[in-house]
Amino acid sequence: MSVPLAARALWYVAPGHAEIRAQALPPRAPDQVLVRSRVSALSRGTERLVLEGRVPASQHEAMRAPLMEGAFPFPVKYGYCALGDVEDGPGALRGRRVFVLHPHQDRFLAPAAMCIPVPDALPDHRAVMAANMETALNILWDARPLPGERCLVVGAGLVGLLTASLLARMPGIRPVLVDVDPGRAALAAAVGAGFALPADAPGDQDLIIHASASAAGLALALDRAGFEARIVEASWHGDRAVPLPLGEAFHSRRLSLLSSQVGAVAPAMRGRRTHAERLALALDLLADPRLDALAAPVARFEDLPQALPALLAGGAAAPPCPVVTYI
Task: Return the top range by mean pLDDT from 50-64, 192-206, 243-257.
Answer: 192-206
Cα 119 to Cα 97: distance, rounded to the nearest angstrom: 8
Mean pLDDT for 57-67 is 90
DSSP labels, 85-116: EEEESSTTTTT-EEEE---SBSEEEEEGGG-E
Distance between CA atoms of residues 223 and 315, nearest Å: 27
CA–CA distance, 82 with 45 (Å, rounded to integer): 17
How much is the mean pLDDT over the chain?
A: 95
- Average pLDDT over every residue of 31-37: 97
Q: What is the dihedral of CA 93, 96, 101, 102, to 10 degrees?
A: 100
Taking 60 as the threshold, does the pLDDT of residue 1 lie above it?
A: no
- Sequence length of the chain is 327
Helix (H) or strand (E) holding 119: none
What would the pLDDT profile of 77-93 be if each residue is shown by its tens digit?
A: 999 999 999 999 988 99
Our measurement of the distance from residue 239's CA atom to the centroid of its chain's CA atoms, rounded to an integer in Å, reads 19
| pTM higher than 0.95 | no
pLDDT of residue 281: 97
For 263-315, the pLDDT digits (tens) are 999 999 999 999 999 999 999 999 999 999 999 999 999 999 999 999 998 77
pLDDT in tens, 209-263: 999 999 999 999 999 999 999 999 999 877 777 888 888 789 999 999 999 999 9
Q: Could you give phi then psi for residue 163, rounded to 5 degrees?
A: -65, -45
Choose among 164, 192, 168: nearest CA to 178. Answer: 164
Helix pair 275-285, 130-143: axis angle to 10 deg: 110
Say if residues 222 and 231 touch (Cβ distance below 8 Å): yes
Give CA–CA dist 28/89, Å, rounded.
8
Percent of the chain with pLDDT over 70: 99
Degrees, nearest 5: CA angle 268-232-283 = 60
CB atoms within 10 A of CB 199: 8
pLDDT score of 3: 64
b/e map 227-260, b = 16+ CB within 10 Å: eebbbbbbbbbbeeeeeeeeeeebeeeebebeeb
Please tell me the predicted confidence (pLDDT) of residue 195.
98
- Kindly tell me if the per-residue pLDDT of 76 is higher than 70: yes
pLDDT digits over 106-160, tens only?
Answer: 999 999 999 999 999 999 999 999 999 999 999 999 999 999 999 999 999 999 9
Of 46, 124, 50, 54, the closest CA to residue 82 belongs to: 124
